[in-house]
């Protein structure tokens, strides 16, 4: 039977130390619920006493009905000026009510003499006395050997003495920390193997990513005998972050056959990753291994052709096992197979008899447009419109009779003024006219066309603009440069992207805007059979 590896998450402590990340109390409680749902074993909730938010978290998290997740409180060994029983830090740890106490102590002589400013012998006593004091009062004590790998490289004998002090005092876990993130995989593997010969206590590993090797270092540590891995969801953390559990868990389970989570739980990995990004107010990393949007995206025609014939040619695991999915990207690199697959994904019927011919014609059109500057990788809405128009499957929902925008820019204290006038014709033959002011010309046009179509298509009121990207395609042309605008829109039916290209930024935005509205109206018709 596969050996079990215990997952210790530090997103709410180490992760919260990342630049630009600040979890609210409710965010932290929501993350705790989500990680319990995923099935992790430990969650480090913070440092009681370091701030009111962490104190409140430990009060509130006890009210949650967590199924598996053990909550750990983080702190340091007792201060040299106090005994353990009178140390304010240890008192706050115990007052948190957490069943697991994680104590960080010095294992690098540089920190003992230069930071803690005590003798080596006194440091060993701080470690042992703190653990010995806490052990009878809680279910588990974890000792984090801070800067252990740096300490071992400088003075292996003393670094091991700190671990022995923790082991003899009754620690349940001893965690070897690459706190500076400067170690490399071969070093970690060798050092953990050496530690295993001296220490009988269960070992853990805690790696930072300053050398870009946190995941690799953790994997090497597990292969050398470690059975607890510490990290954060998405690898967020101070400086360059921590080992990313979203990469670690599938690497250990799928590649090395360790037991981390049930297979069904792993299918929630991408969902959990996106949830934590949302709670941290961070944009998801598109190219993140396993859970990123592009992790199973295929663009080159040869790649698409191969992966459609046999998944393993360009997919190292099934995307669904981590809650992800295959994406076929359409670009100037696309071939006939890409179009056929994409049409199937979009639910577009090309017709069995002439499907190959239709696909070739669409490929030709896509390549022509991409040569002009269009990009369809993030514009599935515009791509679906193009495919359906090429096959005579697109019906007009409205005609733009006229559209105009006025922008007034003043050099004094008055704010810039933008106004749009739009006239559209709906299928019933009526002409609708609307005028709107906006925060810029594109916003004014957006408001005006929705206002003009509102009577006939009231569902347009629910559309939200989610993203708006502008790219200069030929920067050397200066203000005459061609512009590409990508718009992402969404409502309760989903999200879709559209694209426009022109030397005029307003025209490019208008193209993408019209496609966005047109796509949504056809999406509604597809679901309900026509106008309500």
Q: How far are the Cα atoms of 103, 119, 202, 393, 433 from residue 132, in angstroms, in the given order?
A: 11, 20, 17, 75, 79
Beta bridge partners of 327: 297
Domain range annotation of the chain = 6-279, 297-390, 398-456
Q: Within 10 Å of residue 186's Cβ, how many Cβ atoms? A: 11
| CATH code that applies to domain 398-456 | 3.30.160
Q: What is the mean pLDDT of residues 228-252?
A: 97
**Helix extents (H) in 119-213:** 120-134, 148-154, 156-169, 185-196
> pTM for the complete prediction?
0.72
Which pLDDT tens digit goes with each residue over 366-376? 777 777 777 67
Q: What is the mean pLDDT of residues 170-194?
A: 98
Q: Which two tokens stand for residue 65?
A: 């009905």
pLDDT reported for residue 526: 43
Tabulate helix, strand, coil % of the chain (nearest 5): 45, 20, 35
CATH architecture of 6-279: Alpha-Beta Barrel (3.20)
Q: What's the half-sphere exposure (Cβ side, CA atoms, 13 Å) at 164?
A: 10
Q: Does the pLDDT at position 390 exceed 90?
A: no
Q: Which two tokens stand for residue 349?
A: 């019927």
Query: Is residue 223 within 8 Å of 193, Cβ to Cβ?
Result: no
Which pLDDT tens digit goes with each residue over 296-316? 887 766 777 787 787 788 889
CA distance 169 to 464: 59
Q: What's the half-sphere exposure (Cβ side, CA atoms, 13 Å) at 279?
A: 26
Of residues 449 and 382, more confidently modeled:
449
pLDDT reported for residue 329: 66
CA distance 134 to 92: 12
Element (H, E) at 45: strand 42-46
Which of 6-15, 125-134, 455-464, 516-525 shows the lowest mean pLDDT across its residues? 516-525
Q: Does the pLDDT at position 352 exceed 60?
A: no
Q: What is the mean pLDDT of residues 333-353?
A: 62
Q: Which two tokens stand for residue 216?
A: 């690799």
Q: Which two tokens stand for residue 165?
A: 């002090």
């Amino acid at each position: 039977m596969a050996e079990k590896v215990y997952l210790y998450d530090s997103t709410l402590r180490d992760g919260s130390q990342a630049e630009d990340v600040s979890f609210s109390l409710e965010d932290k409680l929501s993350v705790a619920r989500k990680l319990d749902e995923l099935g992790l074993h430990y969650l480090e909730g913070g440092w009681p006493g370091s701030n009111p938010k962490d104190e409140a978290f430990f009060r509130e998290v006890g009210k949650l009905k967590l199924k598996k997740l053990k909550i750990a409180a983080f702190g340091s060994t007792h201060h040299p000026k106090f005994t353990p029983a009178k140390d304010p830090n240890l008192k706050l740890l115990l007052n948190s009510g957490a069943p697991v106490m994680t104590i960080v102590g010095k294992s690098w002589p540089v920190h003992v003499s230069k930071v803690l400013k005590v003798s080596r012998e006194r440091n060993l006593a701080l470690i042992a006395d703190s653990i010995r004091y806490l052990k009878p009062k809680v279910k588990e004590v974890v000792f984090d050997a801070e800067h252990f790998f740096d300490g071992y490289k400088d003075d292996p004998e003393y670094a091991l003495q700190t671990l022995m002090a923790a082991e003899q005092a009754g620690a349940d876990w001893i965690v070897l920390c690459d706190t500076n993130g400067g170690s490399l995989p071969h070093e970690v593997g060798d050092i953990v193997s050496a530690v295993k010969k001296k220490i009988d206590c269960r070992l853990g590993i805690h790696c930072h990513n300053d050398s870009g090797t946190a995941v690799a270092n953790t994997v090497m540590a597990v292969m050398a005998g470690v059975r607890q891995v510490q990290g954060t969801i998405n690898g967020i953390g101070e400086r360059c972050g921590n080992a990313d559990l979203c990469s670690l868990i599938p690497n250990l389970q799928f590649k090395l056959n360790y037991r981390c989570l049930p297979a069904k739980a792993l299918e929630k990995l991408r969902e959990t990753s996106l949830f934590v990004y949302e709670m941290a107010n961070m944009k998801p990393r598109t190219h993140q291994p396993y859970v990123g949007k592009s992790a199973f995206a295929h663009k080159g025609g040869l790649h698409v052709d191969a992966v459609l014939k046999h998944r393993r040619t360009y997919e190292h695991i099934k995307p669904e096992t981590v809650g992800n999915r295959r994406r076929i990207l359409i670009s100037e690199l696309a071939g006939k197979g890409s179009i056929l697959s994409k049409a199937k994904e979009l639910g577009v019927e090309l017709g069995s008899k002439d499907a190959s011919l239709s696909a070739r014609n669409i490929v030709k059109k896509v390549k022509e447009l991409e040569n002009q500057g269009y990009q369809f990788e993030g514009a599935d809405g515009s791509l679906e419109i193009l495919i359906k128009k090429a096959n005579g499957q697109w019906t007009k929902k409205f005609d733009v009779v006229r559209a105009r925008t006025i922008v007034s820019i003043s050099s004094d204290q008055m704010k810039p003024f933008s106004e749009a006038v739009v006239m559209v014709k709906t299928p019933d033959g009526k002409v609708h006219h609307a005028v709107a002011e906006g925060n810029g010309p594109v916003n004014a046009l957006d408001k005006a066309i929705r206002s003009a179509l509102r009577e006939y298509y009231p569902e347009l009121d629910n559309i939200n603009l989610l993203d708006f990207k502008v790219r200069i395609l030929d920067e050397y042309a200066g203000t005459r440069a061609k512009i590409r605008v990508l718009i992402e829109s969404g409502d309760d039916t989903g999200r879709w992207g559209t694209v426009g290209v022109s030397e005029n930024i307003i025209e490019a935005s208008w193209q993408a805007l019209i496609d966005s509205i047109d796509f949504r109206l056809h999406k509604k018709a597809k679901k309900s059979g026509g106008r309500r």
